Amino acid sequence: MSTAALSHFTSLLSYARTEDLRRVFGGTSLTSRNFGVQFRRGSFAEFESLRWERSGCRLSSLQPVPVLKGRNSVSSDVRARASENDSGAEVDPLGGGDVLVRVISKDAEVSVLCLVATEVVRDAQRRHNAAPTASVALGRALMGTLLLGALKADAETVQALFLGDGPLGQMTAISSEGGYVKGFVGNPLCDPPYKDNGKLDVGLAVGSGVLSIVRNNRNWKQPYTGTVPIYSGEVAEDIAHYLADSEQMDTAMGLGVGLDREIGIRFAGGFLVQILPFCSEETLAKLEENILKMRPISDAPSDCKIIPTYGPCGTERLKPRMMRAVAMLGPADVQQILDEQGSVEVRCEFCNDVIQFKEADLQEVLQSS
Each residue of 305-342: pLDDT tens digit?
Answer: 333 233 455 566 678 878 888 888 888 888 888 888 88
37-87 pLDDT, tens digit per residue, is 222 222 222 222 222 222 222 222 233 333 333 322 222 221 122 222 222
Distance, CA of 126 to CA of 265 (rounded, Å): 10
- The predicted pLDDT at position 205 comes to 96
pLDDT in tens, 271-303: 888 888 888 888 777 777 777 766 553 343 333
pLDDT at 14 over 50: no
- Secondary structure string (H, E, C) spanning the chain: CCCCCCCCHHHHHCCCCHHHHHHHCCCCCEEECCCCEEEECCEEEECCCCCCCCCCCECCCCCCCCCCCCCCCCCCCCCCCCCCCCCCEEECCCCCCCEEEEEEECCCCEEEEEEECHHHHHHHHHHHCCCHHHHHHHHHHHHHHHHHHHHCCCCCEEEEEEEECCCCCCEEEEEECCCEEEEEECCCCCCCCCCCCCCCCHHHHHCCEEEEEEEECCCCCCCEEEEEECCCCCCHHHHHHHHHHHCCCCEEEEEEEEEECCCEEEEEEEEEEEECCCCCHHHHHHHHHHHHHCCCHHHCHHHCECCCCCCCCCHHHHHHHHHHHHHCCCHHHHHHHHHHHCCEEEECCCCCCEEEECHHHHHHHHHCC
pLDDT at 348: 64
Closest CA to 264 of 152, 133, 104: 133
235 pLDDT higher than 90: yes
Question: pTM for this structure?
Answer: 0.58
Q: Is pLDDT above 50 for 102?
A: yes
Cα separation, 163 vs 157, whole angstroms: 19
More confident of the two residues 260 and 10: 260
Average pLDDT over residues 23-49: 27
Q: Between 350 and 104, where is the model more confident?
A: 104
More confident: 142 or 88: 142
pLDDT value at position 271?
Answer: 86
Domains of the chain, CATH where assigned: 9-303 (3.55.30.10), 315-367 (3.90.1280.10)
Sorting pLDDT into bands at 50, 70 and 90, what band is 213?
A: very high
Query: Considering the chain, what is the average pLDDT of its residues?
Result: 68
